[in-house]
Structure 1
Amino acid sequence: MAGSYFGNSFRITTWGESHGPAIGVVIDGCPSGLALSAKEIQCFLDRRKPGQSRYTTQRNESDQVEILSGVFEGRTTGTPISLIVRNQDQRSKDYGNIASCYRPGHADFTFDSKYGFRDYRGGGRSSGRETIGRVAAGAIASKLLAEMGITIMAYAKSIGPVTVPTSEYHLTEIMENALYMPNNTYAGQAEIYLKECMERQDSSGGIIECTVHGMPAGIGEPVFEKLDASLAKAVMSIGAVKGVEIGDGFQAATSHGSINNDAFTCENGSISKLTNHSGGILGGMSDGSDIVLRAAFKPTPSISQVQQTVTTTSENIDLSIHGRHDPIIVPRAVVVVESMVALTLIDLLFANMSSRLDKILSFYKR
C-alpha cells in the first residue's frame, strides 16, 4: 500500500489495522540527543484514546505505547524510532452485518473499488485508530519544536451549531471540559446539543482551530511546497476532515485588499504585523506571526439510524450500524490536528536548514 508515509527530512510511516494485533509508527530523521520517554508520548495518546467521556466510543483501550528502537538511556540515538500500541479490546463480531455491504459515509466502497478487498472490521487502515501512529510521532515532533521555542495549541472551536467567539476564548479552560473547548459555558451548551443528537441516534461534526506560536519567518517554499499547502495536505489527510482554512480563510473572499492586507511595523529593529488576516503565512512561507488554522470535521458516519445502502452484489438494503462509535469525532481529533501540524512544521524546519549557503558554512565551519 502506497501513501502510508508522511514527510521528507522528518518522515513517519504508520502501520497496523483497527482490529489487528497492534498499531504503530516508524520515525526516520529524528536527531540524536533528544530526551524522550514513553511517558511523554503517552500524554499525547491519552488525549485521543477512547472511553474518555460519554461523547467518545466506549471501546476499552489503554493505548499504552512501547518504544521498540531509537532510544537509549532516555535519549534518541538518531536511528529509526519504532513505536507500538497493542490493540486489546477488538469486538470484530460487531461488524458481522457489514461484511457484505457498504456503510454510508465510510471508505468501504472506495477501498473495495481500489483493492478488490477490504477489512470490514472497523475499517482496517481507514479506521480512526490509524491516527495513533500520527499522534505518537506528533508527540516527538512537538517536543523538538518546544526545544526551538515553538508551541502548538489546538481546541474545538465549534461543536455542531455551538461556536466559541474568539473574543470569549479562555484557553485555560480547554482541558477542563470533555469537549476541549476554550470556554466551559459554551462546552456546556455543546453537551446539551450532543445529548439531543445521541437521543436521535445521530452524530455531529465540528471545527478544530490550531494556533502555532513562535514560528520564525521564512519557513516553507514559494511554489509547490508552500507552508499553507503542506499544512492543508497534512490536516486533510485526517479521515473525517472535509475542509481547511488558514487565517481569514473563506472570509477573505468577501473582504477588500485595504482590509485583508496586514500592515507591517518595525519596533526596536523587529519587524511585525499590525493584524494577522494572513494567518501567519505569506507567499507560502511563515511571516513570523502566529499561524492560525481551522479544520472542518464531518459528523461521525457510524450511526444507529436505519440508512439505505447496497450490498457487494449490488442489492439495495437498509442498514443499522451496531458497535461502539463516537457520537462526535472532534474532541479526540484535537490532538490529531495538533500532531499533524507539528509533523509538518518540523519537517519543513529541517528542510530549511539547507536553504542558505551562509547557514551551511556556519554549521560546518572549522
Structure 2
Amino acid sequence: MSGSTFGKLFRVTTWGESHGAAIGAVVDGCPAGLSLCEADIQEYLNRRKPGQSRYTTKRQETDQAEILSGVFEGKTTGTPISIIVRNQDQRSRDYGNIAYTYRPGHADYTFTQKYGFRDYRGGGRSSGRETIGRVAAGAVASLLLKEMGISLTAYTKSVGPVTVPSDAYHFDEITENTLYMPNNQAAKEAAGHLDLLMKNQDSCGGTVECMVDGLPVGLGEPVFDKLDASLAKALMSIGAVKAVEIGDGISAAASSGSRNNDAFAVRDDRIIKETNHSGGTLGGMSDGSTLLVRASFKPTPSISQIQHTVTEEKEETELSIHGRHDPIIVPRAVVVVEAMTALTIADLLLENMSSRLDKVKAYYTED
C-alpha cells in the first residue's frame, strides 16, 4: 500500500491496523537537539483516546506511547523517531457480521475492489484509530514549532446544528467541556442534540477549527505547493473530513472584492492587515497574520439503526452495526486536525530555509 507517508523534509509514515498488535508512526527529518520524551507525546494522545465521555467509544485503550528510536538522553538525534502504541482492547467478534457485508458510509466496498481483500475488524487500515500515528507525529512537530514561537489552538466550532459564533469564543472554556467547544453554553446545547441522536441510534457531524499564531511571512509556494493546498491535502486525508476552509472559506463566494480584500496598514513599523478574511494566506503563502483553517466532518457512519446494503456476493440485505462507536467523531478529531496542521507547517518551515540565496549563504558562512 502506498500513500502512508506525508511530508517532504519533515516526513511521517503511519502504520498498523485497528485490531492489529499495535499502531504507530515513524518521523524522519526532525532536527537533532529537540527536547522530546514520551510524556510530551502522551499529552497529545490523551486528547484523542477513547472513553473520555459518553460521546466517545467505550473501547478501553491507554494509548501509551513508547519511543523506540531517534531520542537519546532526552534529545532528538536527527535519525528516524519510531513511536509505537500497542492495542489492548480489541473485540474483533463485534465485527463478525460485516465480514462479507459492505457497511454504508465506510471504505469496505472500495477497499475490497482495490485490493481484493480487507481487514473487516474495525476497518483495519481505514479505521479512525490510524490517527494515533498522526497525533504522535504531530506532537513532535508541535514541539518544533513551539521552539520557533509558533502556537496552535484547535477546538470544536460546531456540532450538528450548534455553531459557536466567532465573536463568542472563550478559549479558556475549551477544556471545560467534553466536546472541546470554546463556549460552555454552546457545548451544553450540543450535548442535548447528541443525547437525542443517541436515543435514536443515530450520529452527527461537525466542524473543527484551528488557529496558528506566530507564523513568519512566506511559508508555502506560489503554485502547486501553496500553504492553502498543503493544508487542504493534509486535512482532507483525515478520515470523515468532507470539506476544508481557509479564512472566510465558502462565504467568500458571496462576498465582494471591496469587502473581502484585507487592507494593509503599518503599526509599530510593521506591515499588518486590518482584517483577516484571507485566513492568514496570500498567493498561497503565509502573510504573517493568524492562520485560520477549519475541517468539516461527516456524521459517524457506524450507527445501530438498520440500514440497507449488499454483500460481496451482490445479495441485498439489512445491517445493524454493533460494537463500540463514537456518536460524533469531532471531539476526538480536534487534536488530529491540530496535528496535521502542525505537520504541514513544520515541513514547510524546513523547506522555506532554501528559498533565498542570502539565507543559504548565511547558514554556511562562518562569522
TM-score under structure 1 length normalisation: 1.00
Query: What is residue 108 of structure 2 aligned with on the other side?
Result: 108
| 1:179 counterpart = 2:179 | yes
Query: Which residue type is aligned with residue 337 of structure 1?
Result: V
For residue 79 of structure 2, give the secondary structure of its aligned residue in structure 1. Answer: coil
Query: Which residue type is aligned with residue 355 of structure 1?
Result: S
| 1:337 counterpart = 2:337 | yes
Q: State the aligned residue count.
A: 366
| Superposed counterparts of 1:5-154, under 5 Å | 5-154=5-154
Deviation at 1:267, TM superposition (A): 2.2
Deviation at 1:239, TM superposition (A): 0.3
| Superposed counterparts of 1:190-229, under 5 Å | 190-229=190-229
| 1:307 counterpart = 2:290 | no
Query: Which residue type is aligned with residue 297 of structure 1?
Result: F
CA distance in 2: counterparts of 1:284 and 1:166, whole angstroms:
24
Query: Which residue type is aligned with residue 360 of structure 1?
Result: V
Query: Which residue type is aligned with residue 200 of structure 2?
Result: R
For residue 149 of structure 1, give the secondary structure of its aligned residue in structure 2. Answer: coil
CA distance in 2: counterparts of 1:101 and 1:31, whole angstroms:
46
Query: What is residue 246 of structure 1 aligned with on the other side?
Result: 246
CA distance in 1: counterparts of 2:269 and 2:218, whole angstroms:
17
Deviation at 1:26, TM superposition (A): 0.4
| 1:230 counterpart = 2:230 | yes
Deviations for 1:211-251, whole angstroms, at most 9, x for unmatched residues? 00011111100000000000000000000100001001111
| 1:278 counterpart = 2:306 | no
Gaps of 5+ in 2: none
Deviations for 1:253-289, whole angstroms, at most 9, x for unmatched residues? 0111000000000123210000000000000000000
Query: Which residue type is aligned with residue 231 of structure 2?
Result: L
CA distance in 2: counterparts of 1:98 and 1:212, whole angstroms:
41
The sequence identity of aligned pairs, in percent, is 71
Deviation at 1:113, TM superposition (A): 0.8
CA distance in 1: counterparts of 2:345 and 2:34, whole angstroms:
17
CA distance in 2: counterparts of 1:269 and 1:177, whole angstroms:
41
For residue 266 of structure 1, give the secondary structure of its aligned residue in structure 2. Answer: strand
Query: What is residue 3 of structure 2 aligned with on the other side?
Result: 3
CA distance in 1: counterparts of 2:37 and 2:204, whole angstroms:
36
For residue 204 of structure 1, give the secondary structure of its aligned residue in structure 2. Answer: coil
CA distance in 2: counterparts of 1:301 and 1:172, whole angstroms:
32
Deviation at 1:13, TM superposition (A): 0.4
Deviations for 1:164-205, whole angstroms, at most 9, x for unmatched residues? 111111000000100000001110010000000000000010
Query: Which residue type is aligned with residue 125 of structure 2?
Result: R
| 1:295 counterpart = 2:300 | no
CA distance in 1: counterparts of 2:78 and 2:293, whole angstroms:
31
RMSD over aligned CA atoms reads 0.4
| 1:351 counterpart = 2:363 | no
Deviation at 1:359, TM superposition (A): 0.3
Query: Which residue type is aligned with residue 20 of structure 2?
Result: G
TM-score under structure 2 length normalisation: 0.99
| Superposed counterparts of 1:306-325, under 5 Å | 306-325=306-325
CA distance in 2: counterparts of 1:268 and 1:60, whole angstroms:
53
Deviation at 1:103, TM superposition (A): 0.2
CA distance in 2: counterparts of 1:125 and 1:37, whole angstroms:
27
For residue 189 of structure 1, give the secondary structure of its aligned residue in structure 2. Answer: helix
For residue 302 of structure 2, give the secondary structure of its aligned residue in structure 1. Answer: coil
CA distance in 2: counterparts of 1:166 and 1:359, whole angstroms:
38
For residue 90 of structure 2, give the secondary structure of its aligned residue in structure 1. Answer: coil
CA distance in 1: counterparts of 2:187 and 2:256, whole angstroms:
34
Query: Which residue type is aligned with residue 104 of structure 1?
Result: P
CA distance in 2: counterparts of 1:227 and 1:165, whole angstroms:
25
Query: Which residue type is aligned with residue 81 of structure 2?
Result: I
Q: Which runs of 4+ in 1 moved over 6 A?
A: none
Query: Which residue type is aligned with residue 139 of structure 2?
Result: A
CA distance in 2: counterparts of 1:35 and 1:283, whole angstroms:
34
Deviation at 1:292, TM superposition (A): 0.5
CA distance in 1: counterparts of 2:60 and 2:215, whole angstroms:
38
CA distance in 1: counterparts of 2:195 and 2:329, whole angstroms:
14
Query: Which residue type is aligned with residue 299 of structure 2?
Result: P
For residue 68 of structure 2, give the secondary structure of its aligned residue in structure 1. Answer: strand
CA distance in 1: counterparts of 2:344 and 2:195, whole angstroms:
35
